[in-house]
């Protein structure tokens, strides 16, 4: 097949170190990292005066905050097993493989996690993603033996193999999606979030295009005034470990970020988003 879209962008007893930093009208707790914590929620505490937002049971948000992490200090590795050059901008590595090809990049990492969520929820019939040309490719069709044959910007589907519902076949399906999907297709199949108060874990901040990029909200916390902070995670180009980002711009609350859907520009540790598009997968 010819890649024709070309739009891939990209423990209970734990010691806590607490540092209070005085800023304008606010006293904030510096990053609380529980180095033995093995999930997103157990690795990171909310800053002072904030509390983790409880996610809805069986939601994508619950799946993400309970996602297992690799040992603290793990490096970001490329798909070929080699570390990337910059290892100073992340605080956690997700315990999930990247694959052995340069496929699972930024949008693909969101696709991977959402597909894995649906798979583990036994909602396999809902697994479906668009190619950049608009074609919807369902896991159920791929499972049933239909394969995509690409000619220019057209795609023909033919049944060429027998039914297979294995996890490995599911991963093969995802590799197909990674080849022909990207930030543009992901933007097209998500819904805009137009209010900051509606931002939640699992939503994405995305710039569609080539190059484009996307990060996803990996956790949310809130204070008594209803003000929220968010954790951000991403995949990147070339295909590499999914990782949770530091916030180098507000180190007193890092890795948490302040986000506003009405911002003209949002800087994250490795990418600057302008214009700003927040989207929801559900």
Contact 54, 61 (CB under 8 A): no
Residue 273 resides in a domain: yes
- In this structure, are residues 137 and 127 in contact, taking their beta carbons and an 8 Å threshold? no
Q: What pLDDT does residue 155 have?
A: 87
The Cα 241–Cα 81 span in angstroms is 10
Evaluate whether residue 15 is within a structural domain: no
Count of beta carbons in the 10 Å neighbourhood of residue 54: 10
Determine, yes or no, domain membership for 10: no
Residues β-bridged to residue 245:
90
Q: How long is the chain?
A: 282
Domain hosting 243: range is 20-280
pLDDT at position 26 is 37
Residue 90 exposed, middle or buried by CB count within 10 Å (0-12, 13-18, 19+) = buried
Kindly state whether residue 91 falls inside one of the protein's structural domains: yes
Confirm whether 14 is domain-assigned. Answer: no
Quote the pLDDT of residue 164. Answer: 98
User: Does residue 76 fall inside a structural domain?
Assistant: yes
Q: What pLDDT does residue 31 have?
A: 53
* pTM of the shown model: 0.90
For residue 174, the model assigns a pLDDT of 98
Q: Which pLDDT value is given to residue 12?
A: 31
In a 3-state reduction of DSSP, which class is residue 93?
strand
Tell me the CA end-to-end span of the chain in Å, nearest whole number. Answer: 31
Does the residue 168 lie in any domain? yes
Q: Exposure pattern of 115-143 as b/e (b: 16+ CB <10 Å)?
A: bbbbbeeeebeebbbbbbbebebbbebbb
Work out how many domains the chain is built from and give that number.
1
pLDDT, averaged per 10 consecutive residues of the chain (282 residues), comes to: 42 34 38 90 96 98 98 98 98 97 98 98 98 95 94 87 98 97 96 97 95 96 97 98 97 96 98 97 92
The answer to whether residue 90 sits within a structural domain is: yes
The predicted structure's pLDDT at residue 111: 98
Cβ neighbors of 28 (< 8 A, separation 6 or more) are 20, 21, 47, 48, 49, 252, 253
pLDDT score for 153: 77
């Amino acid at each position: 097949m010819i890649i024709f879209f070309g739009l891939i962008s990209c423990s209970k007893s734990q010691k806590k170190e607490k540092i209070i930093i005085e800023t304008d009208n606010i006293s904030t707790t510096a990053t609380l990292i529980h180095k033995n914590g093995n999930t997103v929620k157990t690795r990171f505490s909310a800053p002072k005066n904030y509390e983790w937002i409880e996610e809805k049971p069986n939601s994508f948000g619950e799946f993400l905050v309970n996602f297992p992490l690799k040992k603290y200090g793990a490096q970001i590795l490329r798909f070929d097993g080699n570390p990337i050059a910059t290892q100073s901008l992340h605080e956690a590595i997700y315990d999930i493989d990247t694959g052995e090809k340069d496929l699972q990049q930024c949008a693909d990492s969101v696709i991977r996690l959402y597909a894995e969520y649906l798979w583990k929820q036994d909602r396999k019939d809902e697994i479906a993603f668009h190619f950049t040309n608009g074609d919807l490719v369902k896991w159920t069709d791929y499972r049933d033996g239909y394969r995509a044959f690409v000619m220019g910007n057209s795609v023909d589907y033919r049944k060429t193999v027998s039914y297979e519902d294995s996890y490995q076949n599911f991963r093969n399906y995802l590799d197909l999606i990674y080849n022909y999907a990207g930030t543009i297709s992901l933007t097209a199949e998500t819904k805009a979030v137009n209010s900051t108060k509606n931002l939640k874990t699992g939503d994405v901040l995305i710039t569609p295009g080539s190059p484009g990029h996307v990060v996803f909200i990996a956790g949310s916390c809130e204070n008594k005034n209803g003000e929220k902070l968010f954790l951000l995670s991403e995949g990147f180009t070339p295909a590499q470990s999914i990782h949770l980002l530091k916030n180098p711009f507000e180190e007193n609350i890092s890795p948490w970020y302040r986000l506003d859907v009405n911002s003209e520009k949002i800087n994250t540790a490795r990418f600057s988003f302008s214009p700003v598009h927040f989207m929801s997968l559900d």
